[in-house]
Structure formats: structure tokens, C-alpha cells
Chains A and B, each alone.
Chain A
Amino acid sequence: MKPRLLVGLLLILGVALATWLYLKRGRGRELIVVSYGGGAYQASHKRAFIEPYQAQTGIRVQSVVWGAEFGKLQEMVRSGAVPWDVVEVTASQFLRGSREGLFAQMTTLPDAEEFKPLPGGPTISPLGVPNVYWSTVVAFDPHAFPQVGPSTWQDFWDLTRFPGPRALYDNPRGNLEFALLADGVSPANLYPLDVTRAFRKLDELKPHVRVWWSDGTEPVQLLLSHQVVSSSAWSGRIVALGEREKEIRYSWKGAAHELDYWIVPRGSKSIDSASAFIRFASRPEEMAAQARLIGYGPANSQALNYVDAKILPHLPTAPANWALSFVINATWWAEHEQEVEAFWVRWKGQ
């Protein structure tokens, strides 16, 4: 072999070895926590949970964002290469993942004294701990409607009273429910969803939907820049605007609540630390701290005792808001999601 080729090969091997050693470093001392959504939401996780946990334990925690791409988690667990330790998943993903054996049993859980679920809410299990209720609400641009704006899904569909372009989340989950509410179905009778009726109602609005948004920051930007007059939006993203919050108005009537869970993926190398982190992040004080930052509702009812009176009206779990809204039925969606999603994509393209 020519000396130059040999040197080249040795160089490549050296770089590969150095990369491998670099990637291997610190595993076991570091925890990777994955938040569902970036921006203000990830920032709330960092400030309320991650930084205090690091300060208390000395364990380095890395914050990572994912878009709840369930397939990614499935592939990761099935391949056995699981870099993540704590992951935030949606309620329907929690059901699917539990069924498919994707989650590890936690070695420590929040005790019953410090974690009290909301009335009728799910309890903690060794596979997952309920974390936060987040909501999709009707929001509008007060420049377009200075007096009265759309405050229900029936108003959202009413293009005569509230003319102008709309935006909706590019996902059937939630939108089918909103269409049925607009069509006169009561929240108590939403499930099982009448999918055909919902799509028929969505047909009416489709030509006026300017953007099917895919990220929580989009509807906020679209409303702030007057690109649409009304949109569905995640309430916390509006609360997180701070001073500019007044530039968007929203209503809790017909808001859809969804619950997220903390889980430890099967194959995580740090199940003990991950479980301890979840226990820490489920304490009432920490959950209240997150609620102050993002305005989502802690799944631990004890946390409401620590939330400022100023922020309480913005939380999905505040009694007055809870009474006006409904919770997405994760069981129904876990069973029908794949089938309905295919219809959704076809319908959107028609």
C-alpha cells in the first residue's frame, strides 16, 4: 500500500475514533429531556424544571425539542439506540406507546401527597406522569374586529358576520371537533366523532382557510401581521407574548384541551435519573412556575395553589375556563388517528 494512502486511511480512522469518543463522553452523567414544541414552551421547561433540577442535583440536563413525531420514537426504541431519557408525549401517543411497549417503567414516582390529579383527570402510572393541559382556542385580530370578534366555533364559521381569511392547525385532531361544535353538536355529544359530518362542515370553511399552520408560533405571527383575521391557536403561545398579548384576543368557549405526559423511553440508559427528573418536574411549585411562564394548565391540581391570581384566568385548568371547554378524547384518536389522517390529507388536496 502506498504510504500516502496509508496516512489517509489512518487519518480517517483517527477522526472516526475521536468522533466516537466525543459522542460517548459524559453519557450517564447527562440527562436528555425532550419537550413537545420549541420557542416559549421549551423556554418554560428550561426555566421551571431544567435549571432548578441541575442546580439541585448537579446533573447536566440537555433540553431538546421534538414535534411529537411518534415514528421517530418508535424507530429509536425498536433499534435500541435511545439517546433520549425523558420525553413529553401527547395523550393519544401515551396510549399507543403504552400498548406498543415503548416506555420504560419508572423507578420512582411522585407521591400521592404532592401530586393530586384534577377531578376526573388521569392518575400517574409507572409508564407515564400527566404533565400539562394545553389548549387550542379561537383567536382573532382586534384590528379586524375592534368591537366584537369571533368567540365561538360557530362564529369562526360565520363568514357573514366575521368576514376574512382564517387559519387552522394542519391536523384533523381538534379541527373535526371544532367543525362539529360549529354545526351545533354539544361538547358532551362529540364522541364518537361523526367524521363525515365534520368534513362536510369543514367544506364550508375550506376556501377561506388561508393557512393550515403546523407550528404553534405560526397562528400568532399570522394574527400579529394581519395575514388572517381569525385562527385557532394554542393559548399558551398568546399568553407568552407578554406585553403584546393584547394584540390578539381569544375565547375559552369551545376550547380543546389536550394532555401531555412525561415518559421514559424503553432503552434509556438513565432510567433512575429520568424518573427522578419527572418526579421533580411534577412537584406543585415547579408546575406553578411553568404555568406562570407559558399559561398552560398543570395536571397536578396542587399546583393551582401556587399560581398567581393574575395568571389563573389564562390557564386551561382554571375552573371558569374548564367549564367552557372540552378535553380531546385520546382513546378515540388513538384508535382512529391513522385512518382519519389519510382522509384529512386527501380532503385538503381536493
Chain B
Amino acid sequence: MKLVTTRHLFSLAVPLFLTAAYLAPLASWIHNFGSAVDSRLLMIAPKQLWTTIIYSSAATAIAVALGGALAIYHRFLVPDGRRWLSLLVCLSLFVGFIARNFAWLAILGFIEEGLSSVLGVRIYLAYSAFAVVLVMTSALVPLAFFVISNGLRPLRDEQLEAAQVMGVAPHQLFRAVIVPIALRSASLAFLLILAIASAYFVTPRILGGGKVDFIGTTAVWFLNHGDSTFANQLGLTLLVPGSLISASLALLVMRWRGRQLGF
């Protein structure tokens, strides 16, 4: 009997590949800490990290709420409706990342013009924190939708019908059955999407007009100004929220596994 098969090697290689992407920068961070860490890091990183966490959390929370609501609505549609809705959500995923930013810039400019001609006062929508959160949300809702939709799959029509036959009111069914199941996948969606959102750098740059600088945006700024070492150090500070998110994810998964195994 072969002890190590190709399948074993593959199943080991993938986690190693994924972990390396986390451990390598962490090792570099620990190696450099104290000696080579740029004094400018303390001057810049805390504020940029705060901006990153606040706005990416806001965009993630809204995306999960909207994606969750859409996923529940999708769950109770007739099969044809489900297909069409899934297709529409999928289509939005295929809009190019950069194109989406510039499209929103044009849309917001158009709305500004319209409001200005109606109200006589210019209300600035583009180049603001609002614009950044709006566009990030628009990109993240489909991800939340698919994660939460998948989480709702154990919910069977027969079970719901049985509950209704037994006299359970629709609002009770919603509160006692649907919401808890949706919340479980929503919390997973939140953590996964937050990990993606906190690494955004193009949208804050384009839609924020240089006023909503995430860590990623600032790292790219320094890279463009010829300071790649410092850009690297700034980028590595994302390990702080990254580690927190990873730890939360691990706890969440362990908790679910524990429940499944009856701990």
C-alpha cells in the first residue's frame, strides 16, 4: 500500500500554498520588526488602518444585509424567477472592476447635475466616503448573495409547508427558522467579504478623490513615489485586520463543527 499518493500531495500542497501567503509576510514583518521598521509607519498606519476598517466594515455590513435580503427573497421565488434573479446577480459580477468604478463616477456626476438643476444647489456625491462605500457595496452584494443563498439550501419546501400546516404563522416561521439559518451564513459572508473589502485600493482612490485613503491605496501611493520598502511595510499592516478576521473565521467554523459533533 502506498503511503503517500498524488492526492495526498495535492491536498497538502494547496493548504501549504495558501498558508505561505499568510506566513511569508508575517515572517518578514517579525524579522523586520524593531530594526528596519520605518519610523513613518507609526505616523501613518494607525489612521489609514482605522479608515480601512471603518469603511470596509460599513460596505461589508450593507452588502451582507442587502445580499441576505435578496437571498431570502430568491429562496421563495418560483423556479423561473430564481433562475432569472441568479442570472442578474451573476451579470453584475462580470462587470469589470475598473469599469464599475468609472461607471459609478459617471452615474454620480449625472445625479449631481440633475439634483443641481432641480434644487439649485450642488450636492456633492462623487469623490466622497459615501461614493466609496456605495461602489464597494455594489461590488460586494453579489458575493454576499451567493454565500447566503448557499446557506439557505438546507431549508426544504416540505419542512416549511409542514410547519405552516401545523399552524405556525409566517412571521414566526421567518423569525424562528429562516433568520437563524440565514444569520449563520451571513456571519460567514461578513468575515469573508470583510477580508476582501479591507484589501480594496482602487475604489477608494477613484471614488474617494484622494480623501479616503485605505492602507492599500496609501501603499500604492508610496510605491508610485518610489518608496517600495515603505509601501511593503504599510501593506503588511493589513495583517492586523487579516489576522483578526482569520481568527474569527476559525472560531466560527470550530463552533459550527462543535455543534455538528454535539460538543
Residues of A within 8 Å of B56, CB to CB, are: none
Interface locus among B133-141, B149-157, B226-234, B244-252: B226-234
Chain B, residue nearest A71 (CB): B228
Q: B223: CB under 8 A from chain A?
A: yes
B208 to nearest A CB, angstroms?
Answer: 9
B218 at the interface (CB under 8 A from A): yes
The answer, yes or no, to whether A75 is at the interface (CB within 8 Å) is yes
Q: Is A225 an interface residue (CB 8 A)?
A: yes
What's the nearest-Cβ distance from chain B to residue A176, in Å? 15
Give a binary string over A307-350; 1 marks a CB under 8 Å from any B CB, 0 the rest.
00000000000000000000000000000011001110110111
Q: Is A72 an interface residue (CB 8 A)?
A: yes
Asked whether A338 lies within 8 Å of B127 as measured between CB atoms, the reply is no
* Main SS class of interface, B: helix
Q: Mark B202-241, 1 if CB is under 8 A from A, else 0.
A: 0001000111010000100111111111110000000000
* A39 interface contact, C-beta 8 A: no
Interface size, B (range): 20 to 34
- The reply to whether the CB of B86 lies closer than 8 angstroms to some CB of chain A is no
Residue among A70, A210, A227, A348 having the largest count of chain B Cβ atoms under 10 Å: A227
A67 CB within 8 Å of chain B: yes
Determine, out of B19-27, B44-52, B167-175, the stretch whose residues face the partner at the interface: B44-52
| Cβ B223 vs Cβ A170 within 8 A | no
Instruction: Please name all residues of chain A whose beta carbon is closer than 8 Å to the beta carbon of B124 when the two chains form the complex.
Output: 165, 210
Q: Is B12 an interface residue (CB 8 A)?
A: no
Q: Which of B127, B205, B218, B222 contacts A214 (CB 8 A)?
A: B205
Cβ–Cβ < 8 Å partners of B48 in chain A: 345, 349
Number of interface residues of A (CB under 8 A): 33
A343 to B40, CA, bound (A): 9
With the chains together, A170 CA to B47 CA distance in Å?
18
Residue in contact with B210 in the complex, picked from A93, A214, A350, CB distance below 8 Å: A214
Q: Assuming A212-B210, A212-B211, is B224 touching A67 (CB within 8 A)? A: yes
- Contact in complex: B51, A211 (CB < 8 Å): no
A 60-96 binary contact with B (CB < 8 Å = 1; else 0): 0000000111111111000000000000000001001
The answer to the question of B126 belonging to the interface, with a C-beta cut-off of 8 Å to chain A, is yes
Residues on B with C-beta less than 8 A from A211 are 127, 209-210
- Asked whether B242 is an interface residue with its Cβ less than 8 Å from the other chain, the reply is no
A306 within 8 Å of B (CB atoms): no
Q: Produce 1/0 per residue, A198-234, CB < 8 A to B.
A: 0000000000011111100000000001010000000
Closest to A170 in B: B210
A227 touches B44 (CB 8 A): no
Q: Which of B1-17 contact A (CB under 8 A)?
A: 6
Q: Are A210 and B127 in contact (CB under 8 A)?
A: yes
Q: Take A342-B40, A345-B218, A350-B47 as given contacts and tell me if A210 and B225 are in contact as well, using a CB distance cutoff of 8 Å.
A: no
Residue of B nearest to A167 (CB): B209
Name the contact of B43 in the complex, choosing from A225, A227, A342 (C-beta under 8 A).
A342
**B223 x A348 contact (CB < 8 A):** no
Whether A74 pairs with B6 at a CB distance below 8 angstroms is no
In the assembly, what is the distance between CA of A277 and CA of B208, in Å?
41
CB neighbours of A7 from chain B (8 A): none
Is residue A5 contacting chain B, with contact meaning CB distance below 8 A?
yes
Contacts of A214 in B (CB 8 A): 205, 210, 221, 224
Which residue on A lies nearest to B209, using beta carbons?
Answer: A211
Residues of A within 8 A of B223 (CB): 69, 71-72
A75 to B218, Cβ gap below 8 A? no
Q: Is the CB of B127 within 8 A of A170?
A: no
> Across the two chains, which residue of chain B brings its CB closest to A96?
B226
Given contacts A71-B231, A165-B124, A341-B225, contact A346 B44 (CB under 8 A): yes
Min CB gap A217→B, angstroms? 12
Whether A341 contacts B209 in the complex (CB less than 8 A), given A165-B124, A346-B43, comes out as: no
Determine the chain B residues whose CB is within 8 A of the CB of A349 once the complex forms. Answer: 44, 47-48, 51, 213
Please tell me if the beta carbons of B226 and A71 are within 8 angstroms of each other in the complex. yes
Q: Does A348 contact B210, Cβ atoms closer than 8 Å?
A: yes
Asked whether, in the complex, the Cβ of A345 is within 8 Å of the Cβ of B228, the reply is no
Expressed in whole angstroms, the Cα–Cα distance for A210 and B213 within the complex equals 14
Distance of A156 Cα from B227 Cα, bound (Å): 31
- B109 and A225 form a contact (CB under 8 A): yes
Task: Report the separation of the CA atoms of residues A165 and B213 in the bound assembly, to the nearest whole angstrom.
Answer: 20
A213 neighbours in B (Cβ, 8 Å)? 209-210
Q: Chain B nearest CB: distance from A205 CB in Å?
A: 13
| Chain B residues closer than 8 Å to A346, beta-carbon distance | 43-44, 47
A227→B6 CA distance, assembly (Å) = 59
Flag if A227 contacts B126 (CB, 8 Å). yes
Q: In the assembly, what is the distance between CA of A350 and CA of B223, in Å?
A: 21
Given A211-B127, A350-B47, A69 and B224 touching (CB < 8 A)?
Answer: yes
With A210-B127, A213-B210, A214-B210 known as contacts, the answer to whether A69 contacts B47 (CB < 8 A) is no
Give the residue name and chain of the B residue nearest to A172 (CB). Answer: B225
Q: Are A345 and B213 in contact (CB under 8 A)?
A: yes
**A1 vs B217: C-alpha distance in the bound complex, in angstroms?**
48
Bound form: Cα–Cα A69–B205 in Å = 17
Report A-chain residues with C-beta under 8 Å of the C-beta of B224. Answer: 67-69, 214
Q: Which residues of B contact A342 (CB under 8 A)?
A: 40, 43-44
Sorted nearest first, the 4 A-B pairs with minimum C-beta distance are A70-B226, A212-B210, A71-B228, A211-B209
| Contact sample, A vs B, 9 pairs, CB 8 Å cutoff | A71-B226, A211-B210, A212-B209, A213-B210, A214-B224, A227-B109, A227-B126, A342-B44, A345-B44
- A residues whose Cβ falls under 8 Å from a Cβ of B: 5, 67-75, 93, 96, 165, 170-171, 209-214, 225, 227, 337-338, 341-343, 345-346, 348-350
